Amino acid sequence: MLDAFTLPAPLKEVVKNIVYDKINGDSQELRESLTLLKKSKSEIENKIKNNKLRFADGVIDEDVYKTALELNQEKLNKTILEIDQVNKELSNSDSDIDAIVEMCCKLGCLWKESSLQVCQKLQNLVFPDGILWDKRKGDYRTIKTNKALELIAEISSNYKKEDEGIQPSSVALCG
C-alpha cells in the first residue's frame, strides 16, 4: 500500500522544489510573526520601564505599580515563549527538506526495514485515522490519508499513466 507513495526518480527534484516553496512560504509568515512579536516585546518592556519611573516619581502608588508590573510581566513572559517557539520553527525548516523528500520516496522500504515503533509512527503519519479491515471484501480500508502524501501519490500515479507503460525507476530502492 505504501508503494503507491513511491516517487519516480524524474519527479524527485520537482517535489523537492514544491516542498521548499511551501516551507519557505510558511517561513515568511513565521518571520513576519517574529517581527510583530519582537515589537510587542519591546512595547511591553517600555511599559514596565515607564511604570517604574512613574512609581519612582510618585505619580502612581505601590498597589497600582505592583498590579501593572504583574500584568505586564505575564504578557512579557508569554511573548518571550512565543518568540522562542517561532525561532525554533524557523531554524528547523530549511535543513529538513531533503530528509522529507527522501522519506516520502521510500515509505514502502522504511516499512519493511523498520522496527515496530517506527512502523506505527509511519502508519500514523500516512493514515492519521488508522487503517480498517473490510471483512466483506477481505481488504483494508483507509478513512483519511495525509494530504501531502496523497498529493505525492497522485503526482506519481499521473506521471506513470502519462509515461504510457514505461515504468520509471523509483527513487531510493530498498537495500
Start-to-end C-alpha separation, the chain: 19
Question: Is it the case that residue 106 has pLDDT exceeding 70?
Answer: yes
Q: What are phi and psi of 170, to 5 degrees?
A: -85, 160
Return the amino acid letter for 124: N
What span, in angstroms and rounded, lies between the C-alpha atoms of 31 and 90? 8
pLDDT digits (tens, 9 = 90+) for 30-49: 888 999 999 999 999 999 99
Q: In this model, does residue 152 exceed pLDDT 70? A: yes
155 strand-pairing partners: none
Which among 13, 3, 7, 18 is positioned nearest to 160, based on CA atoms?
A: 7
Percent of the chain with pLDDT over 70: 86
